């Protein structure tokens, strides 16, 4: 049993299928390029943290092509394929696989530029006292979930894509008796204003 596994969920970067809300200001191809850039940045943040092995999970079978190869940075385990009827089931199954070989597992998406080592370490440290840690997102969801214990119903009743994802997840955790902690809030890059914010912050870094 290893101490930690880091997991990253990503959609297969297919033009027209990803970052659709950015396509009011970008072409489908440019929006896809943003998706790849964000996903690659997330992978590099997870790898550079040095906190544990990194697994890259895609949303469908047979992910391939040059864009996917860009995400398979040296040192990443994958591509792995998410399994389940909805996002909650897919996360539960991935987390369960992580806990088969690690004491703690941390799962992120590919849209949040604020996943630095300090933030990731805070999540893992908090797991010493609780079963589940969530990193809230400004849009009402979450950018990170970490756990050392889970339950098949830990995401029951969550309407994915709504502004109540975090609140509904906390209710589900309460219902199954899993103690949790929350980190500081971060933002996802989903809308044109998020993209502008990320570009502005990147230019100032």
> Which residues are paired to 5 by β-bridges?
105
CA angle at 139 for the pair 52 and 84, rounded to the nearest 5°: 55
| CA–CA dist 12, 63 (Å, integer) | 6
| CA–CA dist 123, 60 (Å, integer) | 28
- The residue with tokens 């589940």 is 132
CA proximity to 105, closest of 144, 72, 79: 144
Phi, psi (degrees; rounded to nearest 5) at 53: -65, 150
What is the number of residues in the chain? 205
| CA–CA dist 72, 76 (Å, integer) | 6
Query: Quick one: pLDDT at residue 64?
Result: 59
Report domain extents, the chain: 2-204
Each residue's pLDDT, cut to its tens digit, for the chain (205 residues) gives 999 999 999 998 888 888 899 999 999 999 999 999 999 999 999 999 999 999 999 988 765 566 677 667 777 888 899 999 999 999 999 999 999 999 999 999 999 999 999 999 999 999 999 999 999 999 999 999 999 999 999 999 999 989 999 999 999 999 999 999 999 999 999 999 999 999 998 887 6
The CATH number fitting domain 2-204, selected from 3.90.550.10, 3.40.50.2300, 3.40.50.1360, 3.30.70.360: 3.90.550.10
Query: Quick one: pLDDT at residue 130?
Result: 98
Query: Quick one: pLDDT at residue 67?
Result: 64
Dihedral sign, CA of 18, 19, 20, 24?
negative
Query: Quick one: pLDDT at residue 164?
Result: 95
86-112 pLDDT tens trace:
999 999 999 999 999 999 999 999 999
């Amino acid at each position: 049993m290893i101490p930690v596994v880091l997991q990253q969920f990503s959609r297969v970067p297919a033009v027209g299928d990803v970052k659709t809300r950015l396509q009011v200001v970008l072409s489908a191809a440019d929006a896809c390029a943003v998706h790849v850039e964000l996903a690659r940045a997330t992978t590099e943040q997870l790898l550079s943290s040095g906190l544990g092995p990194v697994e890259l999970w895609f949303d469908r079978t047979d992910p391939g092509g040059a864009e996917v190869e860009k995400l398979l940075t040296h040192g990443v385990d994958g591509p792995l394929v998410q399994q389940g009827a909805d996002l909650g089931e897919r996360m539960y199954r991935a987390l369960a696989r992580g806990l088969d070989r690690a004491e703690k597992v941390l799962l992120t998406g590919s849209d949040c530029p604020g996943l630095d080592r300090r933030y990731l370490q805070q999540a893992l440290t908090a797991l010493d006292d609780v079963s589940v840690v969530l990193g809230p997102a400004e849009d009402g969801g979450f950018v990170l979930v970490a756990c050392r214990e889970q339950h098949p119903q830990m995401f029951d009743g969550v309407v994915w894509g709504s502004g109540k994802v975090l609140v509904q997840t906390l209710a589900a955790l309460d219902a199954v008796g899993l103690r949790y902690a929350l980190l500081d809030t971060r933002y996802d890059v989903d809308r044109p204003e998020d993209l502008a914010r990320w570009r502005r912050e990147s230019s100032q870094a």
